[in-house]
Amino acid sequence: PEMMGSLELGPEADVSQLEPLLTLENIEQLEATFVAQTQANVTQWLQRALDGEVAEWNREQKPGTDSSGFYHSPMPAIVLQILEENIRVTSLVSESLQQRVHGMALSELATFLRSFSDALIRFSRDHISGEATAPHYVPYLLATLNHQSALRYQTPRTEPLSEPVRYGPSPH
């Protein structure tokens, strides 16, 4: 941009006479390639976040609590940061790319939430059947409910209807 505004280049460069550097077809192809690569990366990062969360469920320590005393872990913030950062970066390129990445991010979040639910069901079945006993099953179960609520509440859509429901420490 600094060169285009240079007075020294003024007489020699008539920008209005220049053809676009990329055709619409080239732009479409580049965007599709970028979205596919970004989706592969996001899928991998979200899987790592899920694997880390599931590993936490069998710890000897209870999950952390937020300032209000509700069980939580950093997982929802990590997931949202992954998605939001990719959307933000594409907003600097073009609106069409941002829309494509936004759609991909919502799709990946839906897939992540299904995987998260499946992992929680396996965790609960293993605990209830006695195959694996988590020392702090109920607190981690409450934390996962808070995660589901937080992720659904934070999902980009129209105005949220209400605050997310959160679950605190069990009195037992």
Q: What is the mean pLDDT of residues 151-160?
A: 55
Residue 78 lies in a domain: yes
More confident residue, 123 or 170: 123
pTM given for the model: 0.77
Asked if residue 112 has pLDDT above 50, the reply is yes
pLDDT for the residue numbered 159:
34
In a domain, 171, yes or no: no
For the chain, the domain total comes to 1
* CB 150, CB 164: distance < 8 Å: yes
Look at residue 94 and tell me if it is in a domain.
Answer: yes
Q: Check: CB of residue 78 under 8 Å from CB of residue 147.
A: no
**pLDDT per residue over 41-94, tens digit each?**
999 999 999 999 999 998 899 999 988 888 998 999 999 999 999 999 999 999
Whether residue 16 is contained in a domain is answered as no
What's the pLDDT at 39?
98
In a domain, residue 113? The reply is yes
Determine the residue type at 168.
G
Any domain includes 127: yes
Residues counted in the chain: 172
Closest CA to 42 of 71, 82, 78: 82
Distance (Å, whole) CA 9 – CA 71 = 62
Q: Which domain holds residue 38?
A: 21-154
Answer whether residue 1 is part of any domain: no
Instruction: Return mean pLDDT, the chain.
Output: 84
The CATH number of whichever domain residue 48 belongs to comes to 1.10.357.50
Confirm whether 5 is domain-assigned.
Answer: no
CA distance 146 to 159: 20
